[in-house]
């Protein structure tokens, strides 16, 4: 007994039409767009991912290297204020900051001995947040403290004690 074939359902017909239109548009773009006609303004955010980049197109030589650390209190760098200092321990990095190629500022190091709620140091223009930041940081011995960073660049340990305050891991975008 032979079965009779049915006509395709309307949703199947519509989906096939959509598939052919999409494939046709991609083919047109691949074959008819002039070279270098698609740039930054045409691309949506996060449209280009690692798997879509040709091997060798991005090399270390083409990437911008991050700047060196600026160490607080070093010659030509912002000074410590209000009694704050580095811990001075050989295995602890000096307090410092740098800005990566994406405009994110990173802090490092341990500071101590200053007056709580006063400015420990001031970040220069170009390394400041666009709004007030309150970050929770660790403090020795095993407690927490609030680190306040103002849009004017003032960095204060607002709570806790003047024992060691750990700056490692504090990051923020410049001007946001």
* 86, 73 contact by CB (below 8 A): yes
Which residues does 127 contact at the CB level (< 8 Å), separation at least 6?
97, 99, 105, 153, 174
Average pLDDT over residues 98-114: 94
Residue 157 has pLDDT above 80, yes or no: yes
Instruction: Return the CATH superfamily for domain 70-173.
Output: Phage tail base-plate Siphoviridae RBP, head domain (2.60.40.1830)
Which pLDDT score, from 0 to 100, does residue 72 have? Answer: 97
For 28, 141, 144, 161, 169, the CA distances from 24, given in Å and listed in that order, are 6, 66, 60, 67, 49
Alpha-carbon span 11 to 42, nearest angstrom: 32
* Percentage, residues of the chain above pLDDT 70: 90
Q: Domain locations in the chain?
A: 10-52, 70-173
Q: Please indicate whether residue 90 or residue 36 has the higher confidence score (pLDDT).
A: 90
Q: How big is the chain, counted in residues?
A: 176
Q: What confidence tier does 159 reach under pLDDT thresholds 50, 70, 90?
A: confident
Q: What confidence tier does 46 reach under pLDDT thresholds 50, 70, 90?
A: confident
Q: What is the pTM of this model?
A: 0.64
State whether residue 170 is helix, strand or coil: coil
* Helical H segments across the chain, by residue range: 10-32
Which pLDDT score, from 0 to 100, does residue 2 have? Answer: 67
Average pLDDT over residues 83-98: 92
Average pLDDT over residues 65-78: 93
């Amino acid at each position: 007994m032979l079965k009779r074939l049915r006509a395709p359902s309307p949703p199947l017909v519509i989906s096939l039409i959509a598939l052919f239109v999409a494939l046709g548009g991609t083919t047109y773009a691949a074959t008819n767009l002039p070279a270098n006609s698609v740039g930054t303004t045409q691309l949506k955010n996060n449209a280009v991912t690692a798997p879509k980049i040709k091997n060798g197109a991005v090399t270390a030589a083409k990437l911008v290297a991050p700047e060196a650390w600026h160490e607080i209190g070093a010659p030509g760098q912002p000074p410590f204020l209000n009694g704050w200092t580095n811990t001075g321990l050989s295995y602890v990095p000096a307090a410092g900051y740098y800005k990566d190629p994406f405009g994110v500022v990173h802090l490092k190091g341990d500071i101590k001995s200053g007056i709580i709620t006063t400015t420990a140091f001031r970040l220069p223009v170009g390394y400041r947040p666009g709004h007030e930041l309150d970050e929770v940081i660790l403090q020795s011995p095993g407690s927490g403290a609030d680190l306040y960073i103002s849009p004017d660049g003032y960095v204060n340990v607002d709570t806790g004690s003047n024992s060691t305050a750990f700056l490692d891991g504090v990051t923020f975008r410049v001007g946001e």
